[in-house]
Amino acid sequence: MVKTRIAVFVSGGGTNLQALMDAERRGELPSGEIVLVLSNSSKAYALERAKAAGIPTAVYSRKALGSQAAFESAIQTELEAHRVDMIVLAGFLSILSAGFTRRWPRRIINIHPSLIPAFCGKGFYGLRVHEAALQYGVKVTGATVHYVNEIPDGGQIIAQKAVDILPGDTPETLQRRVMEQAEWILLPRAAELVAHRLAEEGERL
Ligand code: GRF
């Protein structure tokens, strides 16, 4: 079976990217291969992780390119150059327009650090998600992998995993636990699920 070619979009430390690369190396991503890591910031440590693993990288700055259209056009060209079949958003903080996501139906997935529909949507990213969960006083939180469409965190849910909130948790300790116990487990599994579906569909074409 031809492997699904995966691009991972990053903006930060890249621990979810690392989980994906480690899963691939352990043979837990048999239907896919990571062929590109793309960031909106040249400072993203995730790029160092990709380089250490010998994976091609690309950086596109929305500001430098001057418009959302130019930004997305440059990204689309890069994706076509690498013959990418699916995109994994792993802490990617730039906006992708409806025009862009519509060109990738059920081919873009995102990891969000809460149990959607809780604590998601506009303005909920990174530590803010965990601050909101602690503020509300929920006893359980977790992570969600979902398809990406034009609604922020609004696409069909693919997988979720719950994580207990412990007394004395801070946003930082909670973020770490959600990463360790949920995100880094869910994202590779969800990526394999979607990569396998796409590889099978490709077979049937
Ligand atoms: C994670 O908390 C993830 O849930 C969110 O952004 C953060 C990315 O972290 N989408 P990393 O860059 O993968 O370490």
Regarding the beta carbon of 75 and ligand 1, being less than 6 Å apart is answered: no
The model's pLDDT over 183-199, given as tens digits with 9 standing for 90+, comes to 999 999 999 999 999 99
Q: What is the pLDDT of residues 76-133, one digit of tens each?
A: 999 999 999 999 999 999 999 999 999 999 999 999 999 999 999 989 999 999 999 9
Q: How far is CA 136 from CA 48, 59, 119, 132, in A?
A: 36, 37, 10, 6
Contact criterion met (CB below 8 Å) for 37 and 17: yes
Q: Is the pLDDT of residue 56 over 80?
A: yes
State in Å: Cα 205 to ligand 1 middle. Answer: 35
**Known catalytic residue at 112:** yes
Mutate to test the pocket of ligand 1, among 179, 185, 186 (most ligand atoms within 8 A of CB): 179
Q: How deeply is 2 buried, as exposed, middle or buried, from its count of CB atoms within 10 A (0-12, 13-18, 19+)? A: exposed
The per-residue pLDDT of the chain, averaged, comes to 97
Q: Which fold has domain 4-200?
A: Rossmann fold (3.40.50)
**Cβ neighbours of 1 (radius 10 Å):** 10
| Smallest CA separation from ligand 1 atom 14, residue | 15
CA 161 to chain centre: 16
- Per DSSP, which regions of the chain are E strands? 4-10, 32-39, 57-59, 86-90, 108-112, 140-147, 157-164
pLDDT tens per residue across span 2-33 = 999 999 999 999 999 999 999 999 999 999 99
Q: What is the pTM of this model?
A: 0.97
Q: What band does 203 get if pLDDT is binned at 50, 70 and 90? A: confident
Rounded to 5°, angle at Cα 188 from 14 and 45: 5
**Per-residue pLDDT at 71:** 98
Domain ranges of the chain: 4-200
Confidence check: pLDDT of 204 > 80: no
Residue nearest to atom 1 of ligand 1 (CA): 91
